[in-house]
Amino acid sequence: MSISISENERRAWDRRTPYYLRVRDHLAGLIEAGTLAVDSRLPAERDLSEAFQITRVTAHQALIQLEMEGLIYRLNRRGWFVSPPRLRYNPSVNVSFTRNVTASGRMPGTAVLGRREVASTPWLREKLGAGHDDTIYLVERVRLIDDRPVLVEHIHLNAKYCPGLLTLPLEVSLTDILEQHFGIQLRRASVQLHPTALTAAQAEALGVSAGLPGLKISRAASDQNGNIIEFDQEYWRHDALEVHVDVAVDALPRHVGSGDD
């Protein structure tokens, strides 16, 4: 597929706009129009530089800009690809990853990185409302959408509510495991979100470069009796998730408007 532009189009570029942004705009237009399909591979930087008559440094800048915006993603040693649609996430609704992905018409997947008992630190006891002698489980997994790794999760659980959990198959929904094997119905007690940078270990599990922007989501989950069962930390690729919350306009304070007052 040709992604180059005509000489007339190139001459019409506004010289006050850096070339890498013009290339970014052109490629973004092709992505938004569907000309460049989801998961299709983009030309190498050398080919882009020839197609647009720019330097490889400028081509690299354009690709980095698209990556930062979540329009493309990079796989180590494989190249650049068009990003699939982001998964919608509503933190005010108690829906598991598996059910959310399935409801969006896509395929969820899970790979277990590790499972073990860990020391009961003051920090963990605070997060889980656990006692000094309580056993704490740690489950580490990679979650996938359509076979693409999108997040790494670290789940701490109070073992007294789910004894023997680590012996069960953990490649499926943990929400379903807790309900089916232990009669636990999770209720999300609190959710925190903030931007982060992926560590080397997280990036390796996701097949991306260390330091790439990410989104950290922390959740404390209680059962139907108010007991804190798990504390979950998720590290998402920045291009995989869209936070979406419906808010009633009448519920907004008057001073939180958009300048309509």
User: Does residue 16 belong to any structural domain of this protein?
Assistant: yes
Q: Taking 80 as the threshold, does the pLDDT of residue 188 lie above it?
A: no
Residues 92 and 76 in one domain: no
- Kindly compute the dihedral angle of the four CA atoms of residues 196, 202, 206, 211, in this order, to the nearest 10 degrees: 50
Q: Taking 80 as the threshold, does the pLDDT of residue 47 lie above it?
A: yes
Q: Taking 60 as the threshold, does the pLDDT of residue 73 lie above it?
A: yes
What number is the average pLDDT over the span 136-141?
97
Percentage of the chain beyond pLDDT 70 is 89
Q: Taking 90 as the threshold, does the pLDDT of residue 168 lie above it?
A: yes
Residues 50 and 117 in one domain: no
Distances in whole angstroms, Cα of residue 238 to Cα of each of 55, 88, 205? 28, 13, 15
Residues 110 and 93 in one domain: yes
Residues 60 and 100 in one domain: no
Domain boundary among 67, 82, 97: 82
Residue 155 banded pLDDT, cuts 50, 70, 90 = very high
Residues 228 and 154 in one domain: yes
pLDDT value of residue 246? 78
Bridge partners (DSSP) of residue 220 are: 190, 231
CA distance 3 to 145: 28
* C-alpha 88, offset from chain centre: 10
236 within 8 A of 149, measured Cβ to Cβ: no
> Where residue 44 sits, what CATH number does that domain have?
1.10.10.10
Residues 44 and 136 in one domain: no
Q: Where would I find the beta strands (DSSP E) of 119-212? A: 136-145, 148-158, 187-197
Residues 78 and 92 in one domain: no
Residue 124 banded pLDDT, cuts 50, 70, 90 = very high
User: Does residue 118 belong to any structural domain of this protein?
Assistant: yes
Q: Give just the sign of the alpha carbon dihedral 3, 6, 7, 11.
A: negative
User: Does residue 127 belong to any structural domain of this protein?
Assistant: yes
Joined tokens for residue 85: 């649609």
Residues 17 and 94 in one domain: no
Q: Which of 3-12, 102-111, 215-224, 239-248 has the lowest mean pLDDT?
A: 3-12
Residue among 230, 143, 248, 155 nearest 189 (CA):
230
Q: Taking 90 as the threshold, does the pLDDT of residue 161 lie above it?
A: yes
Residue 96 banded pLDDT, cuts 50, 70, 90 = confident
Q: Which of 4-8, 45-49, 125-129 has the lowest mean pLDDT?
A: 4-8
Q: Is 168 exposed, middle or buried (0-12, 13-18, 19+ CB in 10 A)?
A: middle
pLDDT value of residue 233? 96
Residues 24 and 150 in one domain: no
Q: Taking 80 as the threshold, does the pLDDT of residue 254 lie above it?
A: no
- What domain count does the chain have? 2
Q: Taking 60 as the threshold, does the pLDDT of residue 64 lie above it?
A: yes
pLDDT value of residue 68? 85
Residues 37 and 154 in one domain: no
CA distance 215 to 172: 23
Range of the domain at 31: 7-82
Joined tokens for residue 152: 């790494």
